């Protein structure tokens, strides 16, 4: 339908209807102008500031409500969040790894430097793998295969550190034996 056809239909409707055509009361125009002048005298700045502030407040409220939901995934992303038994398991592994790392750092010397640096690089790779597994745990809904992979990752880190410490002990023993035979 085009606009001219619509306009004619509207005009026909209004012509058929008998609408009251009363004039406004005396002084209506004067009262209207006074109210309009009063509105113009009010500070407009206050009205202008309310809109951006209201929008900013809305965003702040929405963001503050959304943050717990965004952090919820990261809070559930480890073994400790699954059950108390897994929390104990995770605590055991992390404390063992810290203890082994401390032992490894105590063994740092010019002879062991290459071994220790290589071990630390391998540890970083395993830690990145673990971070990926934490994300997979959230996505999979605590799939047993992911849990098993996380535990295996902890065991691999401990095995790596223990193997390097054994190699360092062998290096020390070899150095002592070599030193004794040369004297």
For residues 137, 140, 143, 146, the Cα torsion angle rounded to the nearest 10 degrees is -40
Top pLDDT among 153 and 74 is at 153
Top pLDDT among 42 and 88 is at 88
Domain membership flag for residue 6: no
Residues 37 and 90 in one domain: no
Domain membership flag for residue 13: no
**What pLDDT does 55 receive?**
73
Which of 22, 48, 75 is the endpoint of a domain?
75
Domain membership flag for residue 21: no
Domain membership flag for residue 16: no
Domain membership flag for residue 18: no
Residues 110-129: tens digit of each pLDDT:
888 898 899 999 999 999 99
Closest CA to 150 of 162, 163, 132: 132
Residue numbers of the domain that contains 60? 31-75
**What pLDDT does 73 receive?**
46
The count of structural domains within the chain is: 2
**What pLDDT does 41 receive?**
66
DSSP assignment letter at 25: P
Does the predicted TM-score (pTM) go above 0.75? no
Residues 126/160, Cβ–Cβ less than 8 Å: yes
Residues 96 and 122 in one domain: yes
Residues 161/119, Cβ–Cβ less than 8 Å: yes
Residues 70 and 82 in one domain: no
Residues 52 and 106 in one domain: no
- Looking at 29-38, 66-75, 113-122, 174-183, which range is the least confident one? 66-75
Q: Rounded distance, CA 90 to CA 95, Å?
A: 8
Residues 140-165: tens digit of each pLDDT:
888 889 888 988 999 999 999 999 99
Three-class DSSP category at 112: coil
Top pLDDT among 46 and 30 is at 30
Residue 67 has pLDDT above 60, yes or no: no
Residues 35 and 63 in one domain: yes
Q: Rounded distance, CA 63 to CA 76, Å?
A: 21
Taking CA atoms, 63 is separated from 3, 100, 172, in Å, by 46, 42, 58
Q: Rounded distance, CA 15 to CA 108, Å?
A: 101
């Amino acid at each position: 339908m085009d606009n001219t056809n619509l306009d004619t239909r509207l005009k026909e409707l209004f012509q058929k209807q008998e609408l009251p055509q009363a004039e406004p009361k005396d002084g209506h125009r004067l009262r209207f102008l006074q109210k309009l002048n009063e509105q113009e005298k009010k500070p407009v700045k206050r009205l202008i500031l309310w809109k951006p502030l209201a929008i900013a407040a809305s965003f702040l409220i929405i963001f503050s409500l959304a943050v717990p939901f965004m952090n919820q995934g990261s809070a559930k992303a480890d073994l400790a969040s699954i059950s108390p038994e897994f929390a104990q398991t995770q605590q055991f592994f992390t404390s063992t790894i810290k203890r082994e790392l401390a032992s490894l750092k105590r063994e740092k010397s010019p002879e062991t430097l290459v071994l220790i640096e290589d071990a630390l690089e391998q540890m970083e790779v395993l830690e990145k793998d673990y971070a990926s597994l934490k994300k997979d745990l959230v996505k999979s809904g605590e799939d047993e295969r992911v849990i098993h992979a996380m535990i295996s990752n902890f065991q691999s880190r401990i095995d790596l550190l223990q193997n390097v410490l054994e190699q360092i002990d062998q290096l020390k023993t070899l150095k002592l034996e070599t030193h004794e035979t040369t004297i």
